[in-house]
Amino acid sequence: MPLYDLNGKNKYYTLYCCIRGDILRGKLKSGERLPAKRALAKDLGVSVVTVQLAYEQLLAEGYVTSRERSGYFVERVLPQENFLVQREERGAHKKPPEPETEPESGHGRSQPYADDHTQYIADFVKGATPAKLFPFSVWTKLTRAVLADCGEHLLERVPCDGDAELKAEIAAYLYRSRGVDTDPRYIVIGAGAEYLYGVIVQLVGRDKLYAVENPGYATISGAYALNGARFAPVPVGEEGISLGGLKQINADVLHISPSHQFPTGVITPAYMRSRIIEWALGGDRYIVEDDYDSEFRLSGRPLQSLFSLCPERVIYMNTFSKTLAPSMRMGYMALPPALYKKFLKLFSSSANVVPLFEQKTLAAMLKGGYFERHLSRLKNYYRDIRRQTLETLGTLFPDCEVYDTQGGPHLLARLADGYGKDIFDAAKDSGARVKRLSDYFLAPSAEPKKYAVFNYSGVTAEQLAALKFKKYNK
């Protein structure tokens, strides 16, 4: 009898789940070597590629590490082991930006480029999904269908937590795409991420301290400040957020993007995820799992969510502004049952802030599979643009070092110290607008390796070609 029984379509995902289960249940112990790929493939009657994909997924999520020429080894994942893990013990299998280690005169939350009137060939800062990729004809069709089907129901007041049909479609989508198993009841629809941050403050408390990732989106900490709550930055390193830093500031809430941190691209490894959950369970604490951009993981399956590990302590949230269009203000969150109860208490006499028409149209897009087809096209497009961005970087700066976790749509790059100028100036000279990694620091902090962030979601193939052309004609 083979080790694992793999039926159905997604063989590699099933295999990944089986191995992950064995690791979490302690059947596969920390330090243990996984079977050789070829041998396991033969044993299970699947292709080597299937095993390879499963192992890569486990590697990306931090369940295993890989040692060159010796294979894959189980990481320390289980909570009881976690407390013993010292950072020094872990092998350096990744090249992280390490922004918090060497102190240096940092940069604040400044808005660079405000006075910059340079004419750029390509803008790696703005990062808007190209409008031409939006399924406009589908959307038009659904819009008309919603008008015809719903009629005067479209005029009815929407319950405070949103349209029930959309809530159900989002729950089903989260299960399909993300493995997030949530009761549709506990989903709340809101007018975009920033609106939802405000609701979170109202639910969890304005007197609480909110820990945010540093570097990170200034809009997140800005939203907490705007809503009258205190926030404190916590450094992000190669393993995600610094747990020591988090404990030091005595925060009540942690706002985190474990699947794909912006701008570092760091993926929080599995054993760190367990420890973060433990932190939350150690007190009356909550985690906001901000899954923005997680759809753009360009290889492998999506990463397991914190929410799945502990739905009582994690608020899972995301928006459709990037995957559909920024003009559609639609975000959602899956709340822990206790917070959902409080939401009803506070908002039951209010109507939902998103127009019903928009909610019904999005529900139809999800229901008909249009959204996921669109997302798949978008990912193909980004894979292409990413490849061309890497090529262009290689052409412009042959000794450029890239840090990229394939969790698009952005990557980090830097030039070797002896290059004479840093990549920010070099990119500007070449006609590419970028931001320094340090521009995303919320507090003065170290950034020894002078990375720049290349957000390629708003850059076209033509612009990338023009950059190369300029290099050749220099």
Q: What share of the chain is helix, strand, coil (3-state, %, to 5)?
A: 45, 15, 40
Alpha carbon of residue 135 to chain centroid: 23
> Shortest Cβ distance from residue 152 to its own copies (Å)?
4
Buried b (16+ CB within 10 A) or exposed e, 317-327: bbbbbbbbbee
Q: Please enumerate in sequence order all residues whose Cβ is within 8 A of that of 347, keeping only pairs 6 or more positions apart, or say none.
A: 160, 161
Instruction: Decide if residue 351 touches its own copies (CB under 8 A).
Output: yes
Q: Does 157 bind its own copies (CB under 8 A)?
A: yes
Q: Tell me how far apart the alpha carbons of residues 31 and 8 are, in angstroms, rounded to a whole number.
A: 31
Which listed range, 20-28, 57-65, 82-90, 349-357, lies at the site for its own copies (CB under 8 A)?
A: 349-357
Q: Look up residue 250 and give its DSSP letter.
A: T
Q: How many CB atoms lie within 10 A of CB 335?
A: 26
**310, 280 in Cβ contact below 8 A?**
yes
Smallest CA-to-CA distance from 432 within 83, 172, 61, 123 is with: 123
State the nearest-atom distance from the C-beta of 192 to its own copies, in Å: 6
Q: Is 77 in the site for its own copies (CB under 8 A)?
A: no
The reply on whether position 354 binds its own copies by CB under 8 A is yes
Site for its own copies in 175-214 (CB under 8 A): 191-192, 194-195, 198, 202, 206
Residues ≥6 apart with Cβ < 8 Å to 245:
100, 234, 235
Site membership for its own copies, residue 327 (CB under 8 A): yes
Pick the closer one to its own copies by CB: 34 or 199.
199
Q: Binders of its own copies among 205-264, rule CB under 8 A?
A: 206, 218-219, 222, 226-228
| Dihedral class, residue 159 (left if φ above 0, else alpha if ψ from -120 to 50, else beta) | beta
Cα separation of 80 and 266, whole Å? 25
Are the beta carbons of 100 and 235 closer than 8 angstroms?
A: yes
3-state secondary structure of 331: strand
41 vs 354, which CB is nearer to its own copies? 354
Among 24, 164, 353, 465, binds its own copies (CB under 8 A): 353
Number of chain residues interacting with its own copies (CB under 8 A): 47
Q: How far is CA 267 from the centre of its chain?
A: 8
Nearer to its own copies by C-beta: 248 or 348?
Answer: 348
Do 410 and 127 contact (CB within 8 A), yes or no?
yes
- Specify the stretch interacting with its own copies by CB under 8 A; choose among 115-123, 125-133, 243-251, 425-433: 125-133
Q: How far is the CB of 153 from its own copies (least distance, A)?
A: 8
Does position 328 interact with its own copies (CB under 8 A)? The reply is yes
Residue 147 contacts its own copies per CB under 8 A: yes
One residue of 39, 49, 131, 461 binding its own copies per CB under 8 A: 131
Nearer to its own copies, 348 or 376 (CB): 348
- Determine if 115 is a binding residue for its own copies (CB under 8 A): no
Q: Where are the alpha helices (DSSP H) in 259-319?
A: 270-281, 306-309
Check binding of 352 to its own copies (CB under 8 A): yes
For residue 12, which amino acid is it? Answer: Y
Residue 202 or 460: the one with the smaller Cβ distance to its own copies is 202
Query: Is residue 430 a contact point for its own copies (CB under 8 A)?
Result: no
Stretch that binds its own copies, among 3-11, 23-31, 134-142, 238-246 (CB under 8 A): 134-142
Nearer to its own copies, 47 or 219 (CB): 219
Nearest distance in Å: CB 349, its own copies: 6
Cα gap 162→190, rounded to integer Å: 8
The CA angle 197-200-204, to the nearest 5 degrees, is 145
Q: Measured from the CB of residue 348, what is the shortest distance to its own copies in angstroms?
A: 9
State which residue, 222 or 368, has the beta carbon closest to its own copies: 222
User: Is residue 344 within the footprint of its own copies (CB under 8 A)?
Assistant: no
Taking the least distance from each CB to its own copies, the nearer of 352 and 392 is 352
Residue 108 interacting with its own copies (CB under 8 A):
no
> CB burial class (10 A; 0-12, 13-18, 19+) of residue 397?
buried
Options 132-140, 387-395, 397-405, 458-466: segment touching its own copies (CB under 8 A):
132-140
Structure tokens at 176: 């399909």
Tokens coding 1:
């009898």
Nearest distance in Å: CB 320, its own copies: 11
Handedness of CA 242, 243, 246, 249 (dihedral sign): negative
Q: Does 318 engage in binding with its own copies (CB under 8 A)?
A: no
Q: Is 326 in the site for its own copies (CB under 8 A)?
A: yes
Q: Which is nearer to its own copies, 354 or 467 (CB)?
A: 354
How many C-alpha atoms does 202 have within 13 Å on its Cβ side? Answer: 14
Binding residues for its own copies (CB under 8 A): 128, 131-132, 134, 136, 140, 143-144, 147, 151-152, 154-158, 191-192, 194-195, 198, 202, 206, 218-219, 222, 226-228, 321, 325-330, 346, 349-358
